[in-house]
Chain A
Amino acid sequence: MTQVTLGAALSALPGTAALDDEPPLLRADRITRRFGDRVAVLEASFELWPGEVLAIVGESGSGKTTLLNTIAARGEPEEGVVEFLCQDGRLHNVHSMSQAQQRLLARTEWGFVHQNPVDGLRMDVSAGANVCERLMGQGVLHYGQLRARAQQWLERVEIDPARIDDPPRTFSGGMRQRLQIARNLVTQPRLVFMDEPTSGLDVSVQARLLDLLRQLTRQLRLAVVIVTHDLAVARLLAHRMLVMHQGQVVESGLTDRVLDDPQHPYTQLLVSSVLQP
């Protein structure tokens, strides 16, 4: 797929504005990652525009999470370049930044939603403090303001604001995941990485969370890279998707195109293995 057709297709989607002359928000170029002799990711490339939701799908062990971690600067690739459009309007290689710059990026302009909310939350401090931690790190030190922001965000992710002082330990799985999303979005990042955010939740909770994510990404014009093995999640959320198989991107394109007209044999297998109730 050429960039021109992609841009045209994306600008037709609501909430996205991919102009041909606008640089991408994130560019991954031939990312290769090995663990010893085993290849986890081989020459994966893609571009992501502001406001776009990109799903990476594939079976377990296909390298989805490794690719996500690599582009989120949580691991260094053996080969390839990951560039992010910083505030100065230029693309910067995230792996050649200093650790301080990477961490600043990770807690201001990026978000990372873990599969297991326990990894992304402080389980022993209140929900309000969890939401506000990033703000306090940025120097917002007015308790009243912090509390108001926390309340606002809890409402936005459909958690009862009366539970602001309860620790996430007392929350259900779905609430924890929504709290984790609030914690990440409070600094209004431009790009959020999500690693299987809905797995482990039951179907009705999953549906509610997906609905919420769809709303938030559109309202905040958030770019999202979401890793999932669930094609329904990709169908609902993503504008575009990459299909990975044995560390390689075997197919990419608009979500509906890939799911309705899969070209690669592996994608065909994947689409036909979904159970229909």
Chain B
Amino acid sequence: MSSATDSDSPQQASGIAPEVNFAYLDERTKRMIRRAILKAVAIPGYQVPFGSREMPLPYGWGTGGIQVTAAVIGPADRLKVIDQGSDDTVNAVNIRRFFERTTGVRTTTDTREATLIQTRHRIPEKPLSEGQILIYQVPVPEPMQRLEPRESETRTLHGLAEYGLMHVKLYEDIARYGHIATTYDYPVLVNDRYIMSPSPIPKFDNPKMDRNPALQLFGAGREKRIYAVPPYTRVASLGFEDHPFEIQRWSAVCALCGANDSFLDEMITDDAGTRLHVCSDSDYCKTRRDGPEQQEHAQ
């Protein structure tokens, strides 16, 4: 995308803010977050409370994701930040710049090249591999919060695996719309034990979580919760026997790269209501447009 993001340039090291610790958080805070992450990895899908810190950006902008990234990032990492699949939206650009300035690590827009990917609302289209870490920004970690506002009660329900309530929501969808109308933040069952909110990713991305070779970490800053899905963990989307889980389909293909297998955003291009569909994952779309030979060249 923009020239600032492909930052292999050596002069970037001089851009590091000297007055703050590596990755902004102090070492004791990072250790505390790592302990929470270890516990979260040990109990897939379980929400681990942690002492969320004030970050230099507002709640709702990814304070949980940033803290998780800050706790796991090292000088040798290569960071990619996406927002709604795109590398060049405000949230992604700001978080990427934040880590460029506080760590000096190299950043990238290429999904395959990245060792850490912080994401808001999408999972990249290109398959992830072992050794990569996908970090989600989570606004509401508790999947049952809308139906059961008491946290003491939802914790008990998780503890005893009483998940009848979760299907009430899906039942309501079918009763009202004739099909399961939940399209994002679609609840999943992790490792056949805990029901988990996958953060507001489209349900199109839910199957990618299942037995993914990458480590998936989830950080909710305001709600002070961290949870995780370790590599190759079973993640099943809920459904009814006669109304099983289904992903979105489009009648259109991407207007830029022609992809028919990616998540498409619908864009209105003029006041007359002309519309086109484009890939929400900007890196995937760009790679397809550049073609394989250009991709080789870029590396």
Q: Which of B167, B168, B176, B239 contacts A122 (CB 8 A)?
A: B168
- Contacts A143-B242, A146-B171 given: A99-B165 contact, CB under 8 Å? no
- Which residues of chain B (69-91) have a CB below 8 Å from chain A? none
| A99 contacts B171, C-beta separation under 8 Å | no
In the complex, chain A residues whose CB is within 8 Å of the CB of B243: 143
A38 beta carbon closer than 8 Å to chain B: no
| B160 contacts A100, C-beta separation under 8 Å | yes
Cα distance, A107 to B156, chains bound together (Å): 14
- Contacts A141-B241, A143-B242 given: A134-B164 contact, CB under 8 Å? yes
| A99 contacts B162, C-beta separation under 8 Å | no
Q: How far is the CB of A172 from chain B (nearest CB, A)?
A: 21
Contact with B along A91-109 (1 / 0, CB 8 A): 0000000011001000100
- Which residues of chain A (62-89) have a CB below 8 Å from chain B? none
* Of A123-131, A202-210, A224-232, A256-264, the one with at least 4 CB within 8 A of chain B: A123-131
In the complex, chain B residues whose CB is within 8 Å of the CB of A126: 171-172, 175-176
Q: How far is the CB of B147 from chain A (nearest CB, A)?
A: 7
B250 beta carbon closer than 8 Å to chain A: no
| B164 contacts A129, C-beta separation under 8 Å | no
Most chain B CB atoms below 10 A, which of A100, A107, A135:
A100
| A142 contacts B242, C-beta separation under 8 Å | yes
- Which residues of chain B (258-282) have a CB below 8 Å from chain A? none
| B167 contacts A141, C-beta separation under 8 Å | yes
Q: How far is the CB of A123 from chain B (nearest CB, A)?
A: 11
Cα distance, A141 to B156, chains bound together (Å): 22
B240 beta carbon closer than 8 Å to chain A: yes
Query: Which bracket fits the contact residues of A?
Result: 20 to 34
A137 beta carbon closer than 8 Å to chain B: yes
Cα distance, A128 to B167, chains bound together (Å): 12
Which residue of chain A has the shortest Cβ distance to B146 in the bound complex?
Answer: A124
Contact with A along B229-261 (1 / 0, CB 8 A): 000000000011111000000000000000000
Cα distance, A129 to B147, chains bound together (Å): 12
B59 beta carbon closer than 8 Å to chain A: no
- Which residues of chain B (140-165) have a CB below 8 Å from chain A? 147, 156, 160, 162-165
Which residue of chain A has the shortest Cβ distance to B162 in the bound complex?
Answer: A137
Please count the residue pairs between chain A and chain B whose beta carbons lie under 8 angstroms apart in the complex.
58
| A137 contacts B171, C-beta separation under 8 Å | no
A215 beta carbon closer than 8 Å to chain B: no
| B171 contacts A129, C-beta separation under 8 Å | yes
Which residue of chain B has the shortest Cβ distance to A100 in the bound complex?
Answer: B160
Q: How many residues of B contact A (CB 8 A)?
A: 19
In the complex, chain B residues whose CB is within 8 Å of the CB of A137: 162-165
A136 beta carbon closer than 8 Å to chain B: yes
| A143 contacts B174, C-beta separation under 8 Å | yes
| A125 contacts B172, C-beta separation under 8 Å | yes
In the complex, chain A residues whose CB is within 8 Å of the CB of B147: 122, 125
Which residue of chain A has the shortest Cβ distance to B148 in the bound complex?
Answer: A122
A132 beta carbon closer than 8 Å to chain B: yes
Cα distance, A141 to B170, chains bound together (Å): 11
- Contacts A125-B147, A126-B175, A128-B171 given: A136-B242 contact, CB under 8 Å? no
Cα distance, A99 to B159, chains bound together (Å): 10
Q: How far is the CB of A106 from chain B (nearest CB, A)?
A: 11
Q: Which of A129, A144, A165 contacts B168 (CB 8 A)?
A: A129
In the complex, chain A residues whose CB is within 8 Å of the CB of B162: 103, 107, 137
Cα distance, A165 to B156, chains bound together (Å): 29
| B164 contacts A165, C-beta separation under 8 Å | no
Cα distance, A163 to B165, chains bound together (Å): 21
Residue pairs across A and B with Cβ atoms less than 8 A apart, 24 shown, are A103-B162, A122-B168, A126-B175, A128-B175, A129-B168, A129-B171, A129-B172, A133-B164, A133-B168, A134-B164, A136-B167, A136-B168, A137-B162, A137-B163, A137-B165, A141-B241, A142-B240, A142-B242, A143-B171, A143-B241, A143-B243, A146-B171, A165-B175, A165-B176
Task: Please give 5 more A-B residue pairs, beta carbons under 8 A apart, in addition to A129-B175, A142-B240, A143-B241.
Answer: A128-B175, A132-B168, A137-B163, A143-B240, A143-B242
Which residues does B use to contact A, with CB under 8 Å?
147, 156, 160, 162-165, 167-168, 171-172, 174-176, 239-243
